[in-house]
Amino acid sequence: MQVVITGASKGLGRAMSEIYASHGHTLLVCARNEYQLYKMVEELNVQYPQSTIRAMPADLAIYEQVMAFSEWVIAEAGCPDILINNAGQFLPGSIAHEAPGTLEAMLQANLMSAYHLTRSFLPIMTERKMGHIFNICSIASLQAYPNGGSYSISKYALLGFSKNLREELKEFGIKVTSVMPGAAYTDSWSGSGVDPKRIMQPDDVAKMVYAASQLSFQACVEEIVLRPQLGDL
Protein backbone atom coordinates (compact mmCIF):
# COMPACT_ATOMS: atom_id res chain seq x y z
CA MET A 1 0.00 0.00 0.00
CA GLN A 2 0.98 3.63 -0.53
CA VAL A 3 1.18 5.25 2.92
CA VAL A 4 1.58 9.01 3.44
CA ILE A 5 2.82 10.07 6.88
CA THR A 6 3.38 13.69 7.90
CA GLY A 7 5.65 14.76 10.74
CA ALA A 8 7.46 11.48 10.17
CA SER A 9 11.01 12.11 11.35
CA LYS A 10 10.59 11.51 15.09
CA GLY A 11 8.21 10.53 17.86
CA LEU A 12 4.87 9.07 16.83
CA GLY A 13 5.56 9.80 13.16
CA ARG A 14 8.76 7.79 13.16
CA ALA A 15 7.14 4.93 15.07
CA MET A 16 4.34 4.75 12.50
CA SER A 17 6.86 4.94 9.66
CA GLU A 18 8.78 2.05 11.15
CA ILE A 19 5.79 -0.25 11.54
CA TYR A 20 4.55 0.31 7.99
CA ALA A 21 8.08 -0.08 6.61
CA SER A 22 8.52 -3.32 8.54
CA HIS A 23 5.51 -4.74 6.68
CA GLY A 24 6.87 -3.78 3.27
CA HIS A 25 4.63 -0.84 2.39
CA THR A 26 5.63 2.13 0.23
CA LEU A 27 6.03 5.26 2.36
CA LEU A 28 5.86 8.89 1.27
CA VAL A 29 6.83 11.02 4.24
CA CYS A 30 7.57 14.60 5.19
CA ALA A 31 8.85 16.61 8.15
CA ARG A 32 10.10 20.14 8.82
CA ASN A 33 13.66 19.14 9.71
CA GLU A 34 15.41 18.06 6.52
CA TYR A 35 18.41 16.49 8.27
CA GLN A 36 16.32 14.40 10.67
CA LEU A 37 13.98 13.35 7.86
CA TYR A 38 16.66 12.07 5.52
CA LYS A 39 18.56 10.45 8.39
CA MET A 40 15.42 8.50 9.31
CA VAL A 41 14.86 7.44 5.70
CA GLU A 42 18.45 6.25 5.43
CA GLU A 43 18.13 4.21 8.62
CA LEU A 44 14.80 2.66 7.66
CA ASN A 45 16.01 1.79 4.17
CA VAL A 46 18.84 -0.20 5.74
CA GLN A 47 16.62 -1.82 8.35
CA TYR A 48 13.67 -2.59 6.05
CA PRO A 49 14.98 -3.12 2.49
CA GLN A 50 11.65 -4.70 1.52
CA SER A 51 9.98 -1.28 1.81
CA THR A 52 10.26 1.76 -0.47
CA ILE A 53 10.57 5.06 1.40
CA ARG A 54 10.54 8.46 -0.27
CA ALA A 55 10.75 11.78 1.53
CA MET A 56 10.24 15.48 0.96
CA PRO A 57 11.03 18.16 3.56
CA ALA A 58 7.98 20.35 4.17
CA ASP A 59 6.55 22.59 6.86
CA LEU A 60 2.84 21.88 6.64
CA ALA A 61 1.96 24.94 8.70
CA ILE A 62 2.66 26.80 5.43
CA TYR A 63 -0.09 26.36 2.84
CA GLU A 64 2.23 26.53 -0.16
CA GLN A 65 4.36 23.72 1.26
CA VAL A 66 1.25 21.60 1.92
CA MET A 67 0.29 21.88 -1.72
CA ALA A 68 3.84 21.22 -2.91
CA PHE A 69 3.99 18.06 -0.82
CA SER A 70 0.60 16.94 -2.12
CA GLU A 71 1.63 17.47 -5.73
CA TRP A 72 4.86 15.56 -5.09
CA VAL A 73 2.96 12.61 -3.55
CA ILE A 74 0.56 12.41 -6.49
CA ALA A 75 3.43 12.60 -8.99
CA GLU A 76 5.39 9.91 -7.15
CA ALA A 77 2.65 7.45 -6.30
CA GLY A 78 -0.77 8.62 -7.39
CA CYS A 79 -3.52 8.21 -4.83
CA PRO A 80 -2.47 7.30 -1.27
CA ASP A 81 -4.12 4.26 0.26
CA ILE A 82 -3.47 5.54 3.77
CA LEU A 83 -3.01 9.14 4.87
CA ILE A 84 -1.75 9.77 8.41
CA ASN A 85 -2.07 13.42 9.41
CA ASN A 86 0.48 13.50 12.20
CA ALA A 87 2.34 16.78 11.69
CA GLY A 88 1.80 19.26 14.49
CA GLN A 89 3.33 21.47 17.12
CA PHE A 90 2.97 21.87 20.89
CA LEU A 91 3.28 25.25 22.58
CA PRO A 92 2.17 25.18 26.23
CA GLY A 93 0.56 28.18 27.87
CA SER A 94 -2.64 29.61 29.23
CA ILE A 95 -5.09 31.52 27.06
CA ALA A 96 -4.70 34.60 29.25
CA HIS A 97 -0.91 34.73 29.09
CA GLU A 98 0.26 33.09 25.87
CA ALA A 99 1.94 35.29 23.26
CA PRO A 100 -0.11 36.99 20.56
CA GLY A 101 -0.36 34.77 17.50
CA THR A 102 -0.14 31.51 19.43
CA LEU A 103 -3.68 30.44 18.53
CA GLU A 104 -3.10 31.17 14.85
CA ALA A 105 0.18 29.23 14.91
CA MET A 106 -1.41 26.23 16.62
CA LEU A 107 -4.35 26.18 14.21
CA GLN A 108 -2.02 26.36 11.21
CA ALA A 109 0.21 23.54 12.47
CA ASN A 110 -2.37 21.24 14.03
CA LEU A 111 -5.58 21.81 12.06
CA MET A 112 -5.06 23.59 8.76
CA SER A 113 -2.16 21.34 7.75
CA ALA A 114 -4.42 18.28 7.97
CA TYR A 115 -7.39 20.10 6.45
CA HIS A 116 -5.58 21.31 3.35
CA LEU A 117 -3.59 18.12 2.75
CA THR A 118 -6.66 15.91 3.11
CA ARG A 119 -8.70 18.11 0.77
CA SER A 120 -5.97 17.92 -1.85
CA PHE A 121 -6.29 14.13 -2.01
CA LEU A 122 -10.08 13.86 -1.75
CA PRO A 123 -10.90 14.19 -5.46
CA ILE A 124 -8.81 11.14 -6.38
CA MET A 125 -9.73 9.21 -3.22
CA THR A 126 -13.47 9.70 -3.69
CA GLU A 127 -13.20 8.78 -7.36
CA ARG A 128 -11.42 5.55 -6.43
CA LYS A 129 -13.86 4.97 -3.54
CA MET A 130 -11.32 3.62 -1.10
CA GLY A 131 -8.70 4.79 1.36
CA HIS A 132 -8.10 5.36 5.06
CA ILE A 133 -7.38 8.68 6.76
CA PHE A 134 -5.93 8.83 10.27
CA ASN A 135 -5.96 12.14 12.13
CA ILE A 136 -3.57 12.13 15.08
CA CYS A 137 -5.44 14.20 17.63
CA SER A 138 -4.71 14.06 21.36
CA ILE A 139 -6.18 13.43 24.76
CA ALA A 140 -6.20 17.23 24.72
CA SER A 141 -8.95 16.89 22.09
CA LEU A 142 -11.20 15.40 24.75
CA GLN A 143 -10.42 17.21 27.98
CA ALA A 144 -9.11 20.63 28.91
CA TYR A 145 -6.08 20.73 31.20
CA PRO A 146 -3.85 23.39 32.80
CA ASN A 147 -1.53 25.15 30.32
CA GLY A 148 -3.27 23.50 27.37
CA GLY A 149 -4.18 26.88 25.93
CA SER A 150 -4.28 27.21 22.18
CA TYR A 151 -2.74 23.78 21.69
CA SER A 152 -5.77 22.15 23.26
CA ILE A 153 -8.11 24.41 21.27
CA SER A 154 -6.43 23.33 18.03
CA LYS A 155 -6.67 19.66 18.95
CA TYR A 156 -10.36 19.99 19.81
CA ALA A 157 -10.77 21.52 16.35
CA LEU A 158 -8.83 18.69 14.69
CA LEU A 159 -11.13 16.14 16.29
CA GLY A 160 -14.15 18.09 15.02
CA PHE A 161 -12.66 18.07 11.52
CA SER A 162 -12.04 14.33 11.78
CA LYS A 163 -15.58 13.55 12.95
CA ASN A 164 -17.13 15.60 10.15
CA LEU A 165 -14.83 13.97 7.61
CA ARG A 166 -15.91 10.54 8.80
CA GLU A 167 -19.58 11.35 8.16
CA GLU A 168 -18.93 12.89 4.75
CA LEU A 169 -16.77 10.06 3.42
CA LYS A 170 -18.77 7.01 4.53
CA GLU A 171 -20.64 6.77 1.23
CA PHE A 172 -17.37 6.87 -0.72
CA GLY A 173 -15.88 3.85 1.04
CA ILE A 174 -13.17 5.96 2.69
CA LYS A 175 -12.45 5.26 6.36
CA VAL A 176 -11.57 7.99 8.85
CA THR A 177 -10.06 7.29 12.26
CA SER A 178 -9.44 9.84 15.01
CA VAL A 179 -6.51 8.91 17.25
CA MET A 180 -6.33 10.42 20.74
CA PRO A 181 -3.08 9.38 22.44
CA GLY A 182 -2.10 10.44 25.92
CA ALA A 183 1.50 11.02 26.92
CA ALA A 184 4.00 8.96 24.93
CA TYR A 185 7.75 9.19 25.50
CA THR A 186 9.04 11.31 22.62
CA ASP A 187 11.76 13.99 22.42
CA SER A 188 9.44 16.52 24.02
CA TRP A 189 9.62 14.52 27.26
CA SER A 190 13.39 14.10 27.36
CA GLY A 191 14.87 16.06 30.25
CA SER A 192 11.44 16.48 31.85
CA GLY A 193 12.26 14.22 34.77
CA VAL A 194 9.28 11.98 33.99
CA ASP A 195 10.07 8.28 34.31
CA PRO A 196 9.78 6.76 30.80
CA LYS A 197 8.01 3.80 32.41
CA ARG A 198 5.24 6.14 33.61
CA ILE A 199 4.05 6.98 30.08
CA MET A 200 3.46 5.14 26.83
CA GLN A 201 5.95 4.28 24.12
CA PRO A 202 5.43 5.73 20.63
CA ASP A 203 5.14 2.26 19.14
CA ASP A 204 2.11 1.61 21.37
CA VAL A 205 0.27 4.20 19.28
CA ALA A 206 1.81 2.95 16.02
CA LYS A 207 0.64 -0.62 16.67
CA MET A 208 -2.94 0.52 17.21
CA VAL A 209 -2.94 2.63 14.05
CA TYR A 210 -1.50 -0.22 12.00
CA ALA A 211 -4.02 -2.72 13.38
CA ALA A 212 -6.93 -0.39 12.57
CA SER A 213 -5.69 -0.07 8.99
CA GLN A 214 -5.74 -3.84 8.46
CA LEU A 215 -9.43 -4.53 8.99
CA SER A 216 -11.87 -5.62 6.31
CA PHE A 217 -13.51 -3.10 3.98
CA GLN A 218 -16.71 -3.45 6.00
CA ALA A 219 -15.17 -2.30 9.32
CA CYS A 220 -13.97 1.13 10.43
CA VAL A 221 -12.39 2.01 13.76
CA GLU A 222 -13.76 5.50 14.29
CA GLU A 223 -11.76 6.45 17.39
CA ILE A 224 -8.66 5.19 19.18
CA VAL A 225 -8.07 6.48 22.72
CA LEU A 226 -4.86 5.46 24.49
CA ARG A 227 -3.66 6.52 27.92
CA PRO A 228 -0.77 5.48 30.15
CA GLN A 229 -1.74 2.57 32.39
CA LEU A 230 -1.61 4.83 35.47
CA GLY A 231 -3.67 7.51 33.73
CA ASP A 232 -2.87 10.95 32.39
CA LEU A 233 -0.14 13.03 33.96
Question: pLDDT value at position 155?
Answer: 97
Percent over 70 (pLDDT), the chain:
100
Which pLDDT band, with edges at 50, 70 and 90, does 196 fall under?
confident
pLDDT, tens digit, 9 for 90 and up, residues 133-143 = 999 999 999 99
* pLDDT of 190 over the 80 cut: no
- Work out the mean pLDDT of the chain and round it to a whole number: 96
Q: Which residues pair with 5 in a beta bridge?
A: 29, 84
What whole-number distance in Å separates Cα of residue 11 and Cα of residue 199? 13
Domain ranges of the chain: 2-226
Q: What is the mean pLDDT of residues 37-66?
A: 97
Question: pLDDT value at position 162?
Answer: 98
pLDDT, tens digit, 9 for 90 and up, residues 3-48 = 999 999 999 999 999 999 999 999 999 999 999 999 999 999 999 9
| CATH code reported for the domain at 2-226 | 3.40.50.720
* pLDDT of 204 over the 80 cut: yes
Question: pLDDT value at position 185?
Answer: 86
Dihedrals phi, psi of 143, to nearest 5 degrees: -150, 130
* pLDDT of 187 over the 90 cut: no
Q: Which residues contact 203 (CB under 8 A, 6 or more apart)?
A: 15, 18, 19
Any idea which of 51-65, 158-172, 183-197 has the lowest mean pLDDT?
Answer: 183-197
What whole-number distance in Å separates Cα of residue 40 and Cα of residue 26? 15
